[in-house]
Structure 1
Amino acid sequence: MLNGLFSQQETEALKRTEDNIEKVKSFLENCISPNSLTDEVQEFFREVAALKGQSAEATLQEMMAGTRKYLEAINTEIEFKNDIPKDINKYVDKIEKLAAGIESCWDIFSGESRQYFRKIAYSFTEASSKCNGWQGLLIRFRLILPSLQKKEDVFSKYQKSFLIIPKAVAKAIELRKSKSTSKLWEKGQYLLNKATEIYNSEKGILLPYLKHWGRTPEEQLEKNKPAMAWAKARMEEIKREYNGENL
């Protein structure tokens, strides 16, 4: 994000959100539809869908896309020179993906993470002033060459990027003012805990690769017994070949 804008503590907070989103991404990508989920998780998607005026299926797909974008953004390195991104387009793409993840996955972030997003939204808003006055003129001057090379107004793109995350956070907060969402957040935390439980369990190592999704990890494993048996037999065959038993 912005070079030098965040402390080490805030950087660590961002890494914790990455860990949670990675688990949820793994969990969601194994969902065929909201109907394949537990009652609690189904209700979570229905409530979020109601807030957004869309279907539960669309909400599920949106959150899946949001988790992917968020992780892509976190893993995108940005180089800076004189506190300005060397590649404005790459930088803006990173910010847009972070914002998409924040907005679509707002209800599964912890209270600490949501407070962190409010803080960085405020920091971006405050930092946007650097594009005004003499500082803005200096930045515009430094971006003349990139603008000519890319044949677009790079300065304006950079200036607008400061409001992308604040707008996403404001939209997420405003959307939930229409009703009490304490229960919704509890259901979101249930989803996160369920994803963490599966992700951290020994079974969870195998679940992402199984074709059939069950309402519980046990049901999924039961449905996939034939595939697991084939995989076990194939691994044993490969092991025998490796040890020279078939030579």
Structure 2
Amino acid sequence: MSSSQIFPRFEGKTVLVTGAGTGFGAAIAYRAAQEGADVGVHYNRSRAGAERTVARIEELGQKAWIFQADISSWEQVRRLAEEAFSQLGTVDVLVNNVGDFASETQGWRELDQESLDRVIDVDVKGTLMMTHEFGARMVEQGHGAIVNIGSTVVVRGSARAPQYAAAKYAVLGITKSYAHAFAPTVRVNTFAPGFMETDALLARADWQAGRRETLIEATPLAQIPPPEAVAGTALFLASEDASHMTGGYLVADGGYNMVGA
């Protein structure tokens, strides 16, 4: 990817990113700091990853805080919201990045109760509860923006992991519902990246067995980017440039799906 100038779109703002210890969440948290934000770094299990993200943010001269919570628990989500608003003073932007994409499922016949429950608990219930608790407090403070990380899987579905496609479709309903509920004070949008070369994707058996090459061939921009390449695109939805967008669905997938009217 060619390097480009990074503008301070979030100078003086606080941004909380869930799942910011690894992968796309870590990239978004770091990009927010590059753009001038102080950042809340949430994790569930990857404490070491969260600490690495915080160290990188502090190297930029920005403040960073670590928060732990299992977002499939409403009690823990409520505690997270209370801690975040207490420690940060205000939360200007929430990025709901956490999601379970059922990487262990390589075909629909492998779907079982455990995988179904886990994906629904994290991707659907977790996203809804985070949006609900943080959004309610943002309405009280008089401003805010929420970006829910969705997926282009809603366009084509997934024979590999139907539970993941179902969950990410639900995120669209959550986004639209709370965009109505919180308007005009708080904006809520969905950002849908295509495939990104995170460590989790690189470790997948199907990725190592030729799927990467097949997808690159079908992608007009002819690349599967690292998460850093689209982190700024996700944050666009929380910026002033997107001030007239709510309930929206923004895709950045190299032209693979070309969703539109």
TM-score class normalised by the smaller sequence: under 0.3
**By percentage of residues, which structure has more helix?**
1
Give the structure-1-normalised TM-score: 0.25
**By percentage of residues, which structure has more strand?**
2
Higher RCO structure, 1 or 2 (CA under 8 Å, sep 6+): 1
Give the structure-2-normalised TM-score: 0.24
